[in-house]
Structure 1
Protein backbone atom coordinates (compact mmCIF):
# COMPACT_ATOMS: atom_id res chain seq x y z
CA UNK A 1 0.00 0.00 0.00
CA UNK A 2 0.99 3.55 -0.47
CA UNK A 3 1.66 5.93 2.33
CA UNK A 4 0.37 9.50 2.34
CA UNK A 5 2.91 12.27 1.62
CA UNK A 6 4.68 13.59 4.66
CA UNK A 7 3.71 17.22 4.09
CA UNK A 8 -0.05 16.62 3.93
CA UNK A 9 -2.03 15.38 6.88
CA UNK A 10 -4.24 12.37 6.41
CA UNK A 11 -7.94 12.88 5.79
CA UNK A 12 -10.27 12.10 8.66
CA UNK A 13 -13.63 12.01 6.87
CA UNK A 14 -15.11 11.89 3.36
CA UNK A 15 -16.31 15.52 3.33
CA UNK A 16 -12.78 16.71 3.89
CA UNK A 17 -11.55 14.37 1.16
CA UNK A 18 -14.12 15.76 -1.30
CA UNK A 19 -13.08 19.30 -0.44
CA UNK A 20 -9.42 18.45 -1.11
CA UNK A 21 -10.32 16.79 -4.42
CA UNK A 22 -12.32 19.87 -5.48
CA UNK A 23 -9.45 22.18 -4.54
CA UNK A 24 -6.98 20.00 -6.43
CA UNK A 25 -9.27 20.03 -9.49
CA UNK A 26 -9.47 23.82 -9.34
CA UNK A 27 -5.66 24.13 -9.06
CA UNK A 28 -5.19 21.66 -11.91
CA UNK A 29 -7.65 23.61 -14.09
CA UNK A 30 -5.73 26.83 -13.42
CA UNK A 31 -2.45 25.11 -14.26
CA UNK A 32 -3.83 23.67 -17.50
CA UNK A 33 -5.24 27.08 -18.51
CA UNK A 34 -1.89 28.72 -17.77
CA UNK A 35 -0.07 26.14 -19.89
CA UNK A 36 -2.60 26.54 -22.71
CA UNK A 37 -2.09 30.32 -22.66
CA UNK A 38 1.67 29.87 -22.87
CA UNK A 39 1.28 27.40 -25.73
CA UNK A 40 -0.97 29.74 -27.78
CA UNK A 41 1.79 31.25 -29.89
CA UNK A 42 -0.56 33.11 -32.23
CA UNK A 43 -2.30 34.94 -29.40
CA UNK A 44 1.01 35.79 -27.73
CA UNK A 45 2.37 37.09 -31.04
CA UNK A 46 -0.73 39.25 -31.54
CA UNK A 47 -0.40 40.62 -28.01
CA UNK A 48 3.28 41.40 -28.63
CA UNK A 49 2.46 43.07 -31.97
CA UNK A 50 -0.22 45.21 -30.34
CA UNK A 51 2.20 46.25 -27.60
CA UNK A 52 4.89 47.10 -30.15
CA UNK A 53 2.40 49.09 -32.23
CA UNK A 54 1.39 51.07 -29.16
CA UNK A 55 5.03 51.73 -28.26
CA UNK A 56 5.78 52.80 -31.84
CA UNK A 57 2.86 55.22 -31.93
CA UNK A 58 3.90 56.74 -28.60
CA UNK A 59 7.48 57.13 -29.83
CA UNK A 60 6.26 58.69 -33.10
CA UNK A 61 4.19 61.24 -31.17
CA UNK A 62 7.18 62.00 -28.96
CA UNK A 63 9.57 62.38 -31.91
CA UNK A 64 7.08 64.55 -33.82
CA UNK A 65 6.85 66.87 -30.84
CA UNK A 66 10.63 67.01 -30.57
CA UNK A 67 10.99 67.72 -34.29
CA UNK A 68 8.45 70.55 -34.11
CA UNK A 69 10.26 72.04 -31.13
CA UNK A 70 13.62 71.82 -32.93
CA UNK A 71 12.14 73.38 -36.08
CA UNK A 72 10.67 76.25 -34.08
CA UNK A 73 13.99 76.73 -32.31
CA UNK A 74 15.91 76.69 -35.59
CA UNK A 75 13.47 79.14 -37.13
CA UNK A 76 13.89 81.49 -34.18
CA UNK A 77 17.71 81.21 -34.35
CA UNK A 78 17.57 81.90 -38.08
CA UNK A 79 15.32 84.92 -37.59
CA UNK A 80 17.58 86.22 -34.84
CA UNK A 81 20.71 85.84 -36.98
CA UNK A 82 19.42 87.22 -40.29
CA UNK A 83 20.65 90.78 -40.77
CA UNK A 84 18.00 93.51 -40.82
CA UNK A 85 19.00 94.48 -44.37
CA UNK A 86 18.12 90.98 -45.61
CA UNK A 87 14.80 91.04 -43.72
CA UNK A 88 13.99 94.43 -45.26
CA UNK A 89 14.84 93.15 -48.77
CA UNK A 90 12.65 90.07 -48.24
CA UNK A 91 9.75 92.19 -47.04
CA UNK A 92 10.15 94.52 -50.02
CA UNK A 93 10.28 91.58 -52.45
CA UNK A 94 7.14 90.08 -50.90
CA UNK A 95 5.33 93.42 -51.16
CA UNK A 96 6.42 93.79 -54.78
CA UNK A 97 5.23 90.25 -55.54
CA UNK A 98 1.81 91.00 -53.99
CA UNK A 99 1.58 94.22 -56.01
CA UNK A 100 2.52 92.42 -59.24
CA UNK A 101 -0.07 89.71 -58.59
CA UNK A 102 -2.69 92.35 -57.93
CA UNK A 103 -1.77 94.16 -61.16
CA UNK A 104 -1.93 90.89 -63.09
CA UNK A 105 -5.42 90.29 -61.72
CA UNK A 106 -6.47 93.78 -62.75
CA UNK A 107 -5.01 93.30 -66.23
CA UNK A 108 -6.89 90.00 -66.51
CA UNK A 109 -10.13 91.67 -65.51
CA UNK A 110 -9.57 94.56 -67.90
CA UNK A 111 -8.20 92.72 -70.97
CA UNK A 112 -9.94 89.35 -71.00
CA UNK A 113 -13.24 89.26 -72.87
CA UNK A 114 -16.27 89.04 -70.63
CA UNK A 115 -17.29 85.51 -71.77
CA UNK A 116 -13.80 84.29 -70.88
CA UNK A 117 -13.78 86.07 -67.49
CA UNK A 118 -17.20 84.71 -66.58
CA UNK A 119 -16.56 81.15 -67.81
CA UNK A 120 -12.94 80.67 -66.75
CA UNK A 121 -13.48 77.34 -64.94
CA UNK A 122 -15.29 75.58 -67.82
CA UNK A 123 -12.66 76.86 -70.26
CA UNK A 124 -9.83 75.50 -68.11
CA UNK A 125 -11.65 72.16 -67.82
CA UNK A 126 -12.18 72.01 -71.58
CA UNK A 127 -8.50 72.79 -72.18
CA UNK A 128 -7.46 70.05 -69.77
CA UNK A 129 -9.82 67.62 -71.52
CA UNK A 130 -8.38 68.47 -74.94
CA UNK A 131 -4.86 67.99 -73.61
CA UNK A 132 -5.81 64.58 -72.19
CA UNK A 133 -7.35 63.49 -75.52
CA UNK A 134 -4.24 64.66 -77.38
CA UNK A 135 -1.94 62.69 -75.06
CA UNK A 136 -4.08 59.55 -75.35
CA UNK A 137 -4.15 59.77 -79.15
CA UNK A 138 -0.36 60.19 -79.28
CA UNK A 139 0.10 57.17 -77.06
CA UNK A 140 -2.30 55.13 -79.19
CA UNK A 141 -0.39 56.03 -82.37
CA UNK A 142 2.90 55.22 -80.70
CA UNK A 143 1.55 51.89 -79.45
CA UNK A 144 0.11 50.95 -82.87
CA UNK A 145 3.38 51.90 -84.57
CA UNK A 146 5.45 49.67 -82.28
CA UNK A 147 3.15 46.60 -82.67
Structure 2
Protein backbone atom coordinates (compact mmCIF):
# COMPACT_ATOMS: atom_id res chain seq x y z
CA UNK A 1 0.00 0.00 0.00
CA UNK A 2 1.17 3.48 -0.74
CA UNK A 3 1.66 6.35 1.64
CA UNK A 4 -1.37 8.11 0.10
CA UNK A 5 -3.78 5.41 1.31
CA UNK A 6 -2.35 5.48 4.84
CA UNK A 7 -1.71 9.11 5.78
CA UNK A 8 -1.02 8.42 9.47
CA UNK A 9 2.22 6.41 8.76
CA UNK A 10 5.46 8.34 8.99
CA UNK A 11 7.53 8.63 5.86
CA UNK A 12 10.78 6.62 6.02
CA UNK A 13 13.95 8.58 6.51
CA UNK A 14 16.78 8.63 4.01
CA UNK A 15 18.78 6.24 6.24
CA UNK A 16 15.88 3.78 6.43
CA UNK A 17 15.50 3.89 2.65
CA UNK A 18 19.23 3.25 2.19
CA UNK A 19 19.04 0.30 4.60
CA UNK A 20 16.07 -1.15 2.71
CA UNK A 21 17.98 -0.74 -0.56
CA UNK A 22 21.04 -2.52 0.91
CA UNK A 23 18.90 -5.39 2.25
CA UNK A 24 17.11 -5.72 -1.08
CA UNK A 25 20.44 -5.60 -2.95
CA UNK A 26 21.89 -8.36 -0.74
CA UNK A 27 18.83 -10.57 -1.21
CA UNK A 28 18.89 -9.96 -4.96
CA UNK A 29 22.59 -10.87 -5.08
CA UNK A 30 21.95 -14.16 -3.29
CA UNK A 31 19.08 -14.94 -5.64
CA UNK A 32 21.23 -14.23 -8.70
CA UNK A 33 24.04 -16.43 -7.32
CA UNK A 34 21.59 -19.28 -6.69
CA UNK A 35 20.18 -18.98 -10.21
CA UNK A 36 23.67 -18.84 -11.72
CA UNK A 37 24.66 -21.97 -9.80
CA UNK A 38 21.60 -23.81 -11.10
CA UNK A 39 22.39 -22.85 -14.69
CA UNK A 40 26.09 -23.79 -14.48
CA UNK A 41 25.64 -27.25 -15.97
CA UNK A 42 29.37 -27.98 -16.27
CA UNK A 43 30.00 -27.32 -12.57
CA UNK A 44 26.94 -29.34 -11.55
CA UNK A 45 28.09 -32.23 -13.76
CA UNK A 46 31.56 -32.12 -12.19
CA UNK A 47 30.07 -32.18 -8.70
CA UNK A 48 27.84 -35.11 -9.65
CA UNK A 49 30.78 -36.96 -11.24
CA UNK A 50 32.85 -36.46 -8.09
CA UNK A 51 29.99 -37.75 -5.94
CA UNK A 52 29.56 -40.80 -8.18
CA UNK A 53 33.31 -41.52 -8.21
CA UNK A 54 33.44 -41.39 -4.42
CA UNK A 55 30.38 -43.62 -4.17
CA UNK A 56 31.89 -46.17 -6.57
CA UNK A 57 35.20 -46.14 -4.69
CA UNK A 58 33.34 -46.77 -1.46
CA UNK A 59 31.37 -49.63 -3.02
CA UNK A 60 34.52 -51.14 -4.54
CA UNK A 61 36.34 -51.00 -1.21
CA UNK A 62 33.37 -52.62 0.51
CA UNK A 63 33.18 -55.37 -2.13
CA UNK A 64 36.93 -55.95 -1.90
CA UNK A 65 36.70 -56.33 1.87
CA UNK A 66 33.80 -58.77 1.53
CA UNK A 67 35.63 -60.88 -1.05
CA UNK A 68 38.79 -60.95 1.04
CA UNK A 69 36.82 -62.02 4.09
CA UNK A 70 35.00 -64.74 2.19
CA UNK A 71 38.24 -65.93 0.59
CA UNK A 72 39.94 -66.17 3.96
CA UNK A 73 36.94 -68.10 5.32
CA UNK A 74 36.94 -70.55 2.39
CA UNK A 75 40.69 -71.08 2.64
CA UNK A 76 40.36 -71.73 6.36
CA UNK A 77 37.58 -74.26 5.74
CA UNK A 78 39.58 -75.97 3.00
CA UNK A 79 42.63 -76.17 5.22
CA UNK A 80 40.57 -77.60 8.10
CA UNK A 81 39.02 -80.26 5.85
CA UNK A 82 42.18 -81.22 3.96
CA UNK A 83 43.93 -84.29 5.40
CA UNK A 84 47.34 -83.68 6.98
CA UNK A 85 49.30 -85.85 4.47
CA UNK A 86 47.84 -83.87 1.55
CA UNK A 87 48.78 -80.58 3.24
CA UNK A 88 52.33 -81.77 3.82
CA UNK A 89 52.74 -82.98 0.24
CA UNK A 90 51.29 -79.75 -1.16
CA UNK A 91 53.73 -77.74 0.97
CA UNK A 92 56.64 -79.83 -0.31
CA UNK A 93 55.59 -79.36 -3.94
CA UNK A 94 55.25 -75.61 -3.42
CA UNK A 95 58.75 -75.43 -1.91
CA UNK A 96 60.27 -77.39 -4.79
CA UNK A 97 58.47 -75.22 -7.32
CA UNK A 98 59.64 -72.05 -5.58
CA UNK A 99 63.27 -73.23 -5.53
CA UNK A 100 63.15 -74.30 -9.17
CA UNK A 101 60.96 -71.57 -10.59
CA UNK A 102 63.46 -70.66 -13.34
CA UNK A 103 63.43 -74.25 -14.60
CA UNK A 104 59.63 -74.30 -14.45
CA UNK A 105 59.34 -71.02 -16.36
CA UNK A 106 61.75 -72.15 -19.07
CA UNK A 107 60.00 -75.54 -19.29
CA UNK A 108 56.60 -73.90 -19.53
CA UNK A 109 57.82 -71.56 -22.26
CA UNK A 110 59.27 -74.52 -24.17
CA UNK A 111 55.99 -76.45 -23.94
CA UNK A 112 54.02 -73.39 -25.08
CA UNK A 113 56.39 -72.84 -28.03
CA UNK A 114 56.21 -76.49 -29.04
CA UNK A 115 52.40 -76.43 -28.87
CA UNK A 116 52.28 -73.26 -30.98
CA UNK A 117 54.60 -74.75 -33.62
CA UNK A 118 52.61 -77.99 -33.65
CA UNK A 119 49.26 -76.25 -34.08
CA UNK A 120 50.56 -73.97 -36.82
CA UNK A 121 52.14 -76.90 -38.65
CA UNK A 122 48.95 -78.96 -38.43
CA UNK A 123 46.96 -75.98 -39.68
CA UNK A 124 49.21 -75.68 -42.75
CA UNK A 125 48.91 -79.40 -43.44
CA UNK A 126 45.12 -79.24 -43.28
CA UNK A 127 45.00 -76.23 -45.54
CA UNK A 128 47.41 -77.88 -48.00
CA UNK A 129 45.08 -80.88 -48.26
CA UNK A 130 42.13 -78.58 -48.79
CA UNK A 131 40.20 -79.67 -45.76
CA UNK A 132 40.18 -78.92 -42.08
CA UNK A 133 38.66 -82.30 -41.32
CA UNK A 134 41.53 -84.28 -42.81
CA UNK A 135 39.58 -85.91 -45.67
TM over 0.5: yes
Structure 2 stretches of 5 or more lacking a match? 104-135
Distance 1:18-1:25 versus aligned 2 partners, 3 A rule: same
Counterpart residue number, 1:129: none
Separation (CA, whole Å) in 2 of partners of 1:76 and 1:33: 59
Deviations 1:87-122 (A, max 9, x none): 233245446x36x94xx8xxxxxxxxxxxxxxxxxx
Question: What stretches of structure 1 move > 6 A for 4+ residues in a row?
Answer: none
Separation (CA, whole Å) in 2 of partners of 1:50 and 1:94: 45
Report the Cα offset of residue 10 of structure 1. 6.5
Structure 1 stretches of 5 or more lacking a match? 105-147
Separation (CA, whole Å) in 2 of partners of 1:38 and 1:10: 41
Distance 1:26-1:80 versus aligned 2 partners, 3 A rule: same
Q: Tell me, yes or no, if structure 1 residue 49 matches structure 2 residue 49.
A: yes
| Count of aligned pairs between the two proteins | 96
Report the Cα offset of residue 36 of structure 1. 0.5
Alpha-carbon RMSD across the aligned residues, in angstroms, is 2.6
Counterpart residue number, 2:79: 79
Separation (CA, whole Å) in 2 of partners of 1:48 and 1:65: 26
- Superposed counterparts of 1:40-119, under 5 Å: 40-94=40-94, 97=96, 101=100
Distance 1:10-1:63 versus aligned 2 partners, 3 A rule: farther
Counterpart residue number, 1:136: none
Distance 1:14-1:82 versus aligned 2 partners, 3 A rule: same
Distance 1:66-1:38 versus aligned 2 partners, 3 A rule: same
